[in-house]
Every structure is written in C-alpha cells, then in structure tokens.
Amino acid sequence: MIDEGAELLDLGLCGAEEMYFATSHFDADGGIEVTASHNPMDYNGMKMVRAGSAPLGSESGLAEIKALAEADDFGPARPGGSRRDVGAQSRAAYVERVLSFVDIAALRPLRILVNAGNGAAGPTFDALAEALAAKGAPFEFIRMHHEPDGSFPNGIPNPLLDENQPVTAEAVLAHGADLGVAWDGDFDRCFFFDEKGGFIAGEYIVGLLAAAFVQREPGRRSSMIRA
C-alpha cells in the first residue's frame, strides 16, 4: 500500500467497530480490519469498508479488488506513501463517542462479568471502563479471559455457540454478577447473560437498542429501522 502511494493510518490492535468508527473519524477513503472474527486461529481475512464506513459489495468495488488481487497487478510504484500510528488518538475518540450515548446519572450500581475470550476486546474495554469510572459510573467489572492471545488458550471466542456459553454463565453465578457480557474475537458481536446465567438472544437486545434510539431521535425513525 505504501508502495502504491497510500497514506496508512495504523490503528494497531483494535476491533472491527473501532475500524468502522476510525474510517469516518479520520475521513479516510477506506478501512481494513485484518481479522478472522470468531473463526479458528488458522484462519484470517479482511473486513473492508469504503469512505464514510460504507460497506463494500459486488456492485461497489469488491469485484474490482478481487480482480486486482487475483491478477497480482497493482501497477508501478508511486511516491508519497506513508504510515502513521493513530491508535491512541483513535481509541480516545472512540471511547468519547461511545460514552456520548450514556446517561451516567441514570445508571445504577451493577456488578458485571466481562469475557473477552482472549480476543481483541480487552484493551478497548479497559479504556471504556476507565472513562466510565472517571465519570462516576457505579460499575464493578470482573474480567475473565481478558488478555489478547491469538492461540486462544480458552477456546475460540464465539459465544453464539451453545457449547461456549456455559463458561460465561457459570462465571456470572460464581461471582454473583448482575450481568454477563461476552464478545467474539474482533468484538463486533456482543452477547449478554442475565443474573441467573441465562443467555439472552441477540434479537431482544437489538429490539431494546432500536427502541432506545428511536425514543432518543424520533426524527430518524425510518432510517433507524432500515439500519
């Protein structure tokens, strides 16, 4: 990419959601997350978006990218390429954006178990937790499988699988937590467990979020429903 004259904004270790956010935040022409998401460790791939964090599809550039990759013909080198580390700057802006959705005064004390599954969520969550604490959020967090480790010593982080849910559910009960949260590897999917260790299906969470955002921004009702 540098040889082709591109300016690279390197986010470092991050999640897919952070890449989507950063693509728009830095007004970039595109974004790439190198990830296999919740697949086994011997898989890899890329999630790509266009300017404005718009998705790529068969009619919006993906076919052209595929043809270039298969031909391995990207043309002659171009001057002006560079790489810049913007990870800390991006994460700080991402945390600020996420917290903009939170009414701190409305929060009640909660003990929350969080399971990052040894994926990428841990460092970003720590930044969010620190910012929440600084604003007075009455949360206590219990962390498990928190350090990123690509060998996945505690199993592939895919909480949607029935066989992967008991470890979080049992930890919720063992620690007397009010809530459990588990992520997949690149944390673009988030799963919840209630105080009894019961897994909450994602469609219920989507419904609650949709209702909350429609109430907050009623003028955007139709666009929120389409989204």
Residue 161 sits in a domain whose CATH number is 3.40.120.10
Q: Domain check: are 17 and 58 in the same one?
A: yes
Rounded (5°) CA angle 110-114-118: 170
Question: Taking 60 as the threshold, does the pLDDT of residue 20 lie above it?
Answer: yes
Q: Domain check: are 133 and 113 in the same one?
A: yes
Q: Domain check: are 70 and 118 in the same one?
A: no
User: How many independent structural domains does the chain possess?
Assistant: 2
Across the chain, mean pLDDT equals: 92
Distance, in Å, from the CA atom of 215 to the CA atom of 227, rounded to the nearest integer, reads 15
Q: Residue 122, class by beta-carbon neighbours within 10 Å (0-12 exposed, 13-18 middle, 19+ buried)? A: buried
Q: Domain check: are 80 and 155 in the same one?
A: no
Q: What percent of the chain has pLDDT over 90?
A: 77
User: What mean pLDDT comes out for the span 10-34?
Assistant: 97
Note whether residue 126 is domain-resident.
yes
Establish whether 90 is a catalytic residue. no
Q: Domain of 68?
A: 7-92
Q: Domain check: are 150 and 67 in the same one?
A: no
Helix, strand, coil share of the chain (percent; to 5): 40, 20, 40
Q: pLDDT: is 80 or 221 the higher one?
A: 80
Choose, from 24, 37, 60, 90, the residue flagged as catalytic. Answer: 37
Picking from 14-23, 115-124, 165-174, 204-213, which range would have the lowest pLDDT averaged per residue?
Answer: 204-213
Note whether residue 139 is domain-resident.
yes
